[in-house]
Amino acid sequence: MPKQHTTQRELFESRDRWDEDDARRGTVATVVLPEGVEKPLDYLVPESLAAQVEPGRRVRVPLGRANRETLAYCVAVRHGELPQAPLKSVIGVEDERPLLSSRMLDLTKWMAERWMARWGEVLEAVLPAGVRLRNRVRLAPLLVATGAAPPRKPSPAQAKVLAAAGAPRTADQLAAASGASRAVVQRLVKLGLLAEAGAVERPRPTTAARPRIAHDKPAELSTPQSQALAAIGGAMAAGRHETIVLFGVTGSGKTEVYLQAVEETVSYGRQAIVLVPEISLTPQTCDRFRSRFGTVAVLHSHLTPAERHAQWREIASGRVNVVVGARSAIFAPTPRLGLVVIDEEHESSFKQGTAPRYHARDVAEWIARAEGVPLVLGSATPSLETFARCLSGEWTMCRLAERVGGGQLPAVMTVDLRERGSRSRGAVSPRLAAGICWALDAGGQVMLLLNRRGFATHVQCQACGHVARCGQCDLALTLHQPGSRGICHGCGLVARLPADCPDCRTPGLVHSGTGTQRLEEQVRRAFPDAAVARMDTDTMRTRGSHERTLDAFRNRELDILVGTQMIAKGLDFPAVMLVGVVNADAALHLADFRAAERTCQLVTQVAGRSGRGPLGGRVVVQTSTPDHPAIRSAASHDYEAFVRSELPAREALLYPPFGSIVRIVVRSLDEQAAAAWAGTIADRLRREADGAPGVRVLGPAPAPIARLRDRFRWHLQVHGSDGSALRALVARGTEGLKTPDGVAWIIDVDPVDMM
């Protein structure tokens, strides 16, 4: 065989080919934009940034023809052959370390698909603003505030930054003022020489200034409590995921089961997340958990960005074993998650009202399944979706049918407002007034529920029938006092109401309907010796207002508490002897298939606030429809009877839990434009659904609130038995749609609010 010779020319040609191969290889980052472009984009990673660019960090990239510098989330990095088309390059890296773990990236991608949202939208939602905007948080010299000596002498560049930080400034402002780089500023933060101004000026709130709730561990659990705890502990010990539903009457000791389950979780060196539906429940829940576990992280919307960021860091470091909070606390960065608990799981507040419209219960199940840990759902009135999954055997239900300590459920009296003798000059019927007297004379307290805030629900002229309405919404203005202010509860518009009718000039407009403000006034007049307070969104706007009011009621400084649904759930006041439901029909007849379910849950929950102490209790429910299944079941403390009556109707109509709904709402300043675009979407969906079994498209039609914030609203619904197939159908039917100017539309998967 002849000997092969490689010439010098061939050697150099081969090396050129190697260089070409190397040039075609590199590192590509896939990024997602918070807004604008929906699909992920690929960017070339320069060698100088290769060590810093990784999934979970944010990067700065050029966007569009103008190469506008934009912040984006890196969701994937790959090394290998580059595409034929040239790629733009990553400009810089925003974060020192990943903000999102691989688990959170998987979760957010699933959420985007599950609720038909943009991935970037979801990423923005799961990260608190204080974490996302860390480089924009104002910084101040920490040692100036504490008076401590620095651990080491600052470098000349660091000294310039500290000199420029006499007043709180952002990292960018400090770098510009001192002539130093942002790396120097971040180094000072890391060394503890700079801190967020919010953390310096307003330290994280503690409960030292307010009395904690005494919640000692009982000597022993009841048999149902022990069985529920054993079910949770069995899943925990086996390291497997299981969803366990505690279906217990009010006062049956569900919270104690949570506490001991969390205690077992902590004993394994793991962390627990506990979700509550209302901010008003957070202080009480935190006090109970602090009494057992000491430090508890709290996450809710009343925290400042700096406080939320500080809590986020504590959780991520693993120094906190228990996280308590509202809906968004499910995204807490727990490195050693061992248990997730959702109290009052039926509450609609666990569903996000803006994009991405996720439900915390479904997110919690995904996380618990991915981590292989138990998920505990507790309620005296589980949602029908939860009940159905228990009946099918998918989830485990543990029943707690009796109150702990042998306590009895309160007797419930229904007052039929259709009877002439049941009405009085005010909102309080003679029977309810007698019940209030009975409770106060016995040294007890009273809670009155009216799920309508304001003074009067509408203002009307008796002569011509004119009703004062919002100029931007299809809603009547609600009268608020003092000042005769008409406030729209849809858009928040405030208008001064005239004394005379603007149409016919008849003097003296009539204030019809009753809200919590008028109810409070009537109660103060009728019971002048009683200390009365009101709890609704109007009175609970200031920081700490929930805690102050509830503490005053718990300490017997108040006799009567008037409020909306925020007083109906989860609160434990042993001295409450009477609960009055002033108008049980307030939401019963809304254009929403869940109206009856919500009414039954609300009345049952608020009735459960009564009779928790040794004095016993009663409940008075005022209603014009006492024979409605929702009212009857609530009055007899038999929520399961309502479930049995409601599930067949839901199944016949393929409503949840037997089917899925995708609701599309179109908004525009031009009513015809909104109607036309809703019709276009409906036509496309009907063509897509043609021949698909079990799928129906309803609408379009004007939404129940046809105009909101000056936008006309039309909606349509797509129903189907298979949720994933339904979402795929809607995605195909709406793909490529170019929305007309002046029109906006949203997709809400499995909505809880149909208004």
CA distance 365 to 241: 9
Task: Please give the structure tokens belonging to residue 632.
Answer: 């009857």
**Res 6: pLDDT:** 52
Among 649, 684, 704, residue at a domain's last position: 649
CATH number at residue 609: 3.40.50.300
Among 649, 669, 704, residue at a domain's last position: 649
Do residues 664 and 627 share a domain? no
Task: Please give the structure tokens belonging to residue 182.
Answer: 């942002």
Do residues 415 and 390 share a domain? no
Q: For residue 393, what are the domain limits? A: 223-303+318-405
CA distance 454 to 449: 13
**Res 749: pLDDT:** 97
450 in any annotated domain:
yes
Do residues 344 and 420 share a domain? no
Do residues 618 and 720 share a domain? no
User: What radius of gyration, in Å, describes the C-alpha atoms of the chain?
Assistant: 30
**Res 154: pLDDT:** 77
CA distance 224 to 231: 11
Do residues 675 and 641 share a domain? no
Q: Could you write out the three-class secondary structure of 110-149?
A: HHHHHCCCCHHHHHHHHCCHHHHCHHHCCEEEHHHHHCCC
- Average pLDDT along the chain, 755 residues, taken 10 residues at a time: 52 50 79 91 94 95 93 95 91 91 96 96 89 59 47 74 70 74 72 54 39 66 95 95 96 93 94 86 75 84 79 89 92 95 94 94 98 97 96 96 86 91 82 95 94 88 88 89 86 86 86 90 95 90 82 93 84 90 89 92 90 88 94 94 95 93 97 97 95 92 93 96 95 94 96 89
171 in any annotated domain:
no
Among 649, 676, 703, residue at a domain's last position: 649
Amino acid at 625: T
- Asked whether the beta carbons of 739 and 677 are under 8 A apart, the reply is yes
CA distance 427 to 436: 13
CATH number at residue 40: 3.40.1440
Do residues 686 and 675 share a domain? yes
Q: Could you give the angle at which helices 516-526 and 430-441 cross, rounded to 10 degrees?
A: 60
- Asked whether the beta carbons of 671 and 702 are under 8 A apart, the reply is no
Largest pairwise CA distance in the chain: 120
Do residues 412 and 349 share a domain? no
150 in any annotated domain:
no
Do residues 635 and 715 share a domain? no
CA distance 295 to 291: 9
Helix (H) / strand (E) element for 317: namely: helix 305-317
Do residues 358 and 432 share a domain? no
**Res 309: pLDDT:** 82
CATH number at residue 708: 3.30.70.600
- Provide the number of structural domains found in the chain: 4
Do residues 532 and 556 share a domain? yes
Do residues 446 and 581 share a domain? yes
Query: Which of 108, 286, 123 shows the shortest CA–CA distance to 213?
Result: 286
CA distance 456 to 519: 10
